[in-house]
Amino acid sequence: MKDGWIFIDKPKEISSFEVIRKLRKILNIKKIGHAGTLDPFATGVLAVALGEATKSISYFNASKFYQFRVLFGISKDTDDSTGKTLQTSDTIPLKKEIDECLKHFVGFQQQVPPKYSAVKINGKRAYKLARENKTFEIKPKEVNIYNLTCLATQKKEEFIFTMECSSGTYVRSFARDLGKMLNTFAHVSELRRIKIGKFGENSIILLDKLAELVHIGDHFVMMHSIKDVLDDIPAVQLNSDLSKKFQNGLSFDFFNKDTFEDTLLITSNAKLLGIGKVVEGKIKPVRVFNL
């Protein structure tokens, strides 16, 4: 299976792009991409699409689970431990004060991404503008935090959090905003993504370990099919005539007028053909897989 997904345990101090570069070499593959960038200082689950699976990246919008530490009393220009210290405060919140604030962060909200992020401002990445000391504003975007918990540590100024959130949520922005709400400063001192959708610690593999498996031709055990990864999208089975139409990029009448789903996985004889969209009662091919 050269077309599918693999979940890497991203090491610290390496960018998500660097992981892709290394994988391209290890797997000797050209078509490769990832869903959900992890900052260089972060570790954990990085979802990587191979071959035809790269066409499905934008459809893998599963919720993300993080475990991270927040250090209070210090603000950083990057909102994490790698940045330059901007301000300090002697005000360190108590756990009960933090718990009281957490309810304000659960649910849909407008969140401003960090200045050091890959958000584009007039076609240029925000982190590049930040490095050039340019003044710019980042517009808030809607995110959804489903779950938040806090645990005390042996250091009174540092707390451990777990978060389940939608794609596009910035943990660093949460730490920055939580600090403000508690009338102090805060930044993320450690960050690990522990799960994307149903894929957690038991699904991931280190780059070195993967290279070993590739060497003996055993790496396919770590791969997941596109269908398995996109199993939250409803599937429709087509007969051979409609399958041919779909594969040729043609729209056709959809026999189930009651569906409210606009995106569907299209299959035929247990084979995945692609992703279709329901437009005015017709299925229109959006992504056709050549599997």
For residue 141, the tally of other CB atoms under 10 A from its CB is: 15
Q: Do 276 and 246 meet the contact criterion of CB atoms below 8 Å apart?
A: yes
- The span from the CA of 115 to the CA of 126, in Å, is 6
Whether 148 contacts 106, CB under 8 Å? yes
**If phi over 0 gives left and psi between -120 and 50 gives alpha, with beta otherwise, what is residue 262?**
alpha
The answer to whether the CB of 81 falls within 8 A of the CB of 188 is yes
Give DSSP secondary structure letters for 172-193.
Answer: HHHHHHHHHHTTS-EEEEEEEE
Confirm whether 258 is a catalytic residue. Answer: no
Catalytic member of 9, 39, 80, 177:
39
Catalytic residues: 39
